[in-house]
Chains A and B, each alone.
Chain A
Amino acid sequence: MSASLETTLDEGGADTSGPRRALAHLALVTLGPILAALVLSGLVLLALGVDPFAYYGYVAQRGLFSWLGLQQTLTRMAPLLCLAAALIVAFRAGIWNLGIDGQFLLGAVTSAALAPFLITVLPAGAVLLVAAAGAALVGALWSLLPALLRAYQQVNEIITTLMMTFLGVSFANLLVKLVFLDPGTTVPQTRTLPVADRLPTLFGTTISGGLVLGLVAVVVVHLVMTRTAFGLKLRTVGENPLAARHAGLDVPLLTVAVFAISAGFAGLAGGIEILGVHGNLQAGWNPAYGLAVIPLVFLARFNGFAAIVFVFFYSALMIGGESAARRIGVPHYFTLVLVANLLILLALAEYLDHRRRRAG
C-alpha cells in the first residue's frame, strides 16, 4: 500500500491542486473508511441483537468522557505507541514484521523476570532502565532468525515472523511456569514488582509514565525516518530494493537493522506494559495488541503524529470495549471485527481514490 500522497498534474505537467485541496482530500480518504467501518461493524452488532448506538455511546462514554476511563485510555496508549513505532519502522522499510506479538510477550517476560530480582540490588530508577532495555534487547533477538533468513536467503518474513510469534507465546508460558515462577502464589505467574517501584505515574493521575516513553518512541521514529540519512536509506529499501542496491546501499545489513529496531520497540512495548501496569506476568497472558495496530499505522500513512491520534482513539475503543464486555455483554472480540473492517475498507478507499485520479 502506498504511503505517498500523489499530487494531480494536468496534461502540461502543471500542478492543479493546492495544498488545501490536498489536505481536504486526505481527510476524506482517511475519515471515510473509519466511518464506513463503524457503520459496517454496527450492522454486525445489529445482527447480534445489540443496539449499535447504545454500544458505541457506552464505549465513548467509558473510554473518553469519564475521567477514570480517559486515564486508562492514556495508559493503554503506552504499549500501543511503541508497537506503532515498531510497525512504522518496519513497513516504511518494506518489511512485514508480523511477529510483534511474540516480541512483545518475550520483552514482557524479560522485564517481569529482571525487575523483581534487580530491585534488591539497584535503585528503582536503574531497575526500570535495565528492565526496559532488557525487554527491547530480547525482543530484537527474537527477530534475529527471521531477519537473517530474509536478508540472506530471501525467505518471506511474513511466515517466519508469524511462526516466531506462535513459538514466542508458548516459550513465554514455559518460562513463566518453569523458570521465573513465583512460588508464593497459586496462579502461575512471575514475582510481582511492588507498585512503588513501577514506572511512575504522571502528575498525580493514574496515567502510567510509559505514555511518555511511547510518545517519545513514535516521535523519534517519525523524525528519524523523515529527516535522517538512515531513515532515507530504509525508505529507499522499502520502496525499491533494486534502486537501493543500485545506489550502493547494503541491503542485507539494513534489513537486519530494521528487524532489530522494529522488534526492539515491540519488546519495549511489552516491557512497559509490565513495568507500568501489571508488575507481573501471568502464564497464558497474551493481549495480542500487535496486529490490531496495523490498520492504525496504515491509516496514518506511516506518519508518526497521525499515528498518535489514531492510537488514542483506538485505545479509547479498547478501554470502552473491555468495560462493555462486562456490562453489556459484547465481548472484546468486537474490536477485532472493527479493526479488520477498517483495514479492508481503507485498502478499498485507496483503490477507489487511485482510480478516480487516473480517470480524472
Chain B
Amino acid sequence: MEALLTAAFLTALLAGAVAAGVPLLLAGLGEQMSEKAGVLNIGIEGMMLMGAYLGFLVAFESGNVALGFVAGMAGGMAVALVMAILCVGLGLNQIVIGIGLTLGVEGLTALLHHFQFSTTYPRLPAAWRVPVPGLVELPVVGPALFDRHPLVYLAFLLVPLLAWLYRRTALGLTLRAAGEKPAALDVAGIDVATVRFLAVLFTGAMAGLGGAFMANVAAGIFIPFMTGGAGFIGIVLAMLARGRPAWVLIGAVVFGGALSLTTALQVAGLNVPTDLIQMLPFAAVMAVLVLYGRKARLPAALGLPYVRGAR
C-alpha cells in the first residue's frame, strides 16, 4: 500500500490524468458551446475519431506533428459541418444524425486505416515536450503538469479564455439565448442558425483537436475506434458543468485520472484486472449522474430545431 503513495506513482497518475484528460477537456469545452447554443451534439465521438485519424495521417505523412493537429481540427470541423448543415440548416433530428455520423466515421476511419496501415502499424516518434522553467522543478506536480506538449498548456489556457468570453462579452448572452429561447434571440436581430452553426463548428474543431492529441501525443498511433467513448464522456462533462468551463476542467481531470489508473497502478506494482480499471471512469460518470443528475441545468431549447415564425 505504501507503494501507492510514492512520488513515482503519484507522478505517473497525475501525468496519465493529464494525458487522458486533455482530450476530454477539449471535447467537453467544445460540446459545452454547442449545448449552450441549444444543439445536442451526439456526433462528437465521430468528430474526435476523425480528428485522431486525420491528425495521425498528416503527421505521419508529412513528418510535421503540428500540421497533424491542424489537419485534426479540420477533420473534426468537416464532420461538424455535415452536422451543422443537416441539423441546424435543415432541422433534421440531432440525435439521429449524431448517431449516423459517429457510426459512419467509425466505419470509415477503420476502413481507411485497414487499407493504409494494417500491415505496417506505424508509430509516431515520442511527443515533443516543453518544460516550464521553474515550475517543472516542483515534486510530483512539476513533471506531471509542467513538462508537457504545448497543446496541454493551450488546452488549460482555453478554460479561463472561454470563461471570460462567456461571462464578459455579449457572446455568452447570445449563446444562452440561442439555447434557452431562440425566438427571443431572433426577434432581437441575431440569426439563430448562424450562431448555432458556428457553435457546432467550434465543437468540431475542439473535438478534432482532442482526437489528434490522443493519436499524436498520448498514444503515438492510430487504432480504429481508439476514442473509446471519450466524446460521450465529453457530453457528460458539458451537461454537468452547468455552463462553466472550470467545471469541465475538473471533470476532465477526474475522469482522466480514472482512465489512466491502469498504467499508474502498474507502476506501483499492483496487479488489478484491466477490465475493472476500464470500468472505473464510466462507473464514476454514472455515480456522478446519480448524485447530481437532477441538477444538470440544460438549456430549455436543447435538441429542438428553431424554425422562424413556426405556426
Contacts and interface: CB of A to CB of B under 8 A. Distances in A.
Judge: A and B partners, yes or no: yes
Interface of A: 1, 44, 48-49, 96, 98, 145, 149, 153-156, 158-160, 162-164, 166-167, 170-171, 173-174, 177-178, 291-292, 294-295, 298, 330-331, 333-341, 343-344, 347-348, 351
Interface string B238-255: 010000000000000000
A334 B111 contact: yes
B266 interface: no
B186 to A, nearest CB: 20
B95 A173 contact: no
A124 B61 CA distance: 58
Interface in B112-135: 112, 114-115
23 contacts: A162-B229, A163-B285, A166-B232, A166-B282, A167-B283, A170-B275, A170-B278, A170-B282, A174-B273, A178-B273, A291-B103, A333-B108, A333-B110, A334-B107, A334-B111, A336-B104, A336-B106, A338-B107, A340-B100, A340-B105, A344-B101, A347-B96, A351-B92
Contacts of B236: 159, 163
A333 B107 contact: yes
Listed from nearest, the 10 A-B pairs whose CB atoms lie closest are: A336-B107, A340-B104, A337-B107, A343-B100, A333-B110, A155-B293, A340-B103, A174-B275, A344-B100, A170-B279
Among B86, B95, B236, B282, the most chain A Cβ lie within 10 Å of the Cβ of: B282
A238 to B, nearest CB: 14
A333 B239 contact: no
B103 A292 contact: yes
A294 B232 CA distance: 18
Contact of B293 (A149, A167, A330, A331): A149
A159 B95 contact: no
B99 A343 contact: yes
A149 B289 contact: yes
A340 B107 CA distance: 9
A162 B100 CA distance: 15
Contacts of A351: 90-92
A3 to B, nearest CB: 12
A294 B99 contact: yes
A338 B276 CA distance: 34
Contacts of A341: 100, 104
Given A171-B275, A343-B103, A298 B96 contact: yes
B293 A337 contact: no
B289 A155 contact: yes
Contacts of A294: 99
Nearest to A345: B100
Contacts of B99: 98, 291, 294, 343
Among A156, A171, A341, the most chain B Cβ lie within 10 Å of the Cβ of: A156
Given A333-B224, A334-B107, A348-B92, A158 B42 contact: yes
A158 B97 CA distance: 14
B7 interface: no
Interface of B: 42, 86, 90-93, 95-97, 99-108, 110-112, 114-115, 224, 228-229, 232, 235-236, 239, 273, 275-276, 278-279, 282-283, 285-286, 289-290, 293-294, 296, 298
Contacts of A49: 115
A347 B87 CA distance: 10
Contacts of A163: 229, 232, 236, 282, 285-286, 289
A165 to B, nearest CB: 9
B111 A333 contact: yes
Given A171-B275, A174-B279, A336 B289 contact: no
B114 A333 contact: yes
Nearest to B303: A156
A298 B236 CA distance: 26
B273 A177 contact: yes
A167 B282 contact: yes
A302 to B, nearest CB: 13
Contacts of B100: 295, 340-341, 343-344, 347
Nearest to A344: B100
B86 A348 contact: yes
Contacts of A158: 42, 95
A174 B95 CA distance: 31
Given A49-B115, A177-B273, A336-B110, 6 more contacts: A153-B294, A163-B232, A340-B104, A343-B96, A344-B97, A347-B96
A336 B103 contact: yes
Contacts of A340: 100-105, 107
Contacts of A162: 229, 232
A48 B107 CA distance: 13
A338 B107 CA distance: 9
Among A49, A145, A336, the most chain B Cβ lie within 10 Å of the Cβ of: A336
A154 B295 CA distance: 10
B232 A347 contact: no
Contacts of B111: 44, 48, 330-331, 333-334, 337
B185 to A, nearest CB: 23
Contacts of A338: 107
B96 A177 contact: no
Contact of B296 (A98, A155, A292): A155
